[in-house]
Amino acid sequence: MSPFVKIQIVVHNRSHLVLAFCAGPPCHDAKHAKELIREAALFNLCTAMYGDGAFDSEEYHCECRRSGIHESLAPINPRAHNLVPTTPHRKKMFKTGTPKRFGQRWQVESTFSQIKRLLGSSLRARCHQSRYREACLKILAFNLMIPGSGCFLQSRFKVQVQSSAHEALLPFAA
């Protein structure tokens, strides 16, 4: 088991409020995409989702549409050839190109930087489950530091720990 903790977050680009997150062992970025999309959509603040190349799949775009998010962007991975993708959402992205607002993805990296600067980049816990919980608590503490966000989050918070997968998922669904 890796001593590192992988944190995935969905961030509101205006307020830097973390809308959804999960912490666990290092894994592919797209592993928790569905859960993160569903949880972020519960806030009714998301109108678009911008992901990196790991989210270049039709499944990612379809999950966004099912969750009520009408725009999803991810850089097209040419899949070892430069042919037009055959799936509807990827084909549309290929033909229209990447809009300027896709450049707002840097806001997520800025949020990670803020969390590390304000709350520290190291974890003190020693066992895996405790590290995941501590990472999640740092994100919750960060959200409470954002003016006006505390009351909004308190009413929607529920903790769910999945010990079998060694992951702590903290969805905001009540």
Tokens of 133: 């919980």
Point out which residues pair with 168 in neighbouring strands: 23, 161
Distance between CA atoms of residues 128 and 134, nearest Å: 10
How much is the pLDDT for 44?
Answer: 83
How much is the pLDDT for 152?
Answer: 46
Break the chain into its structural domains and give their ranges: 6-169
**Cβ atoms of residues 65 and 46 within 8 Å:** no
Give 66's Cβ-side CA count (13 Å radius): 11
pTM of the model: 0.77
How much is the pLDDT for 87?
Answer: 85
Q: What is the pLDDT along the chain (174 residues), one digit of tens a residue?
A: 677 899 999 998 888 889 999 888 999 888 888 999 999 898 888 888 888 878 888 898 899 999 999 888 887 766 667 777 888 888 887 777 766 777 777 888 899 999 999 999 999 999 989 999 999 999 999 998 888 665 444 334 444 434 333 333 343 333
In Å, the largest CA–CA distance within the chain is: 50
Q: Report residue 163: phi and psi, to 5°.
A: -70, -30
Q: Report residue 102: phi and psi, to 5°.
A: -60, -25
Query: Beta 18-24 vs 167-169: how paired, if at all?
Result: antiparallel
How much is the pLDDT for 172?
Answer: 37
Distance between CA atoms of residues 82 and 75, nearest Å: 13
How much is the pLDDT for 79?
Answer: 65
DSSP letter (8 states) at residue 125: -
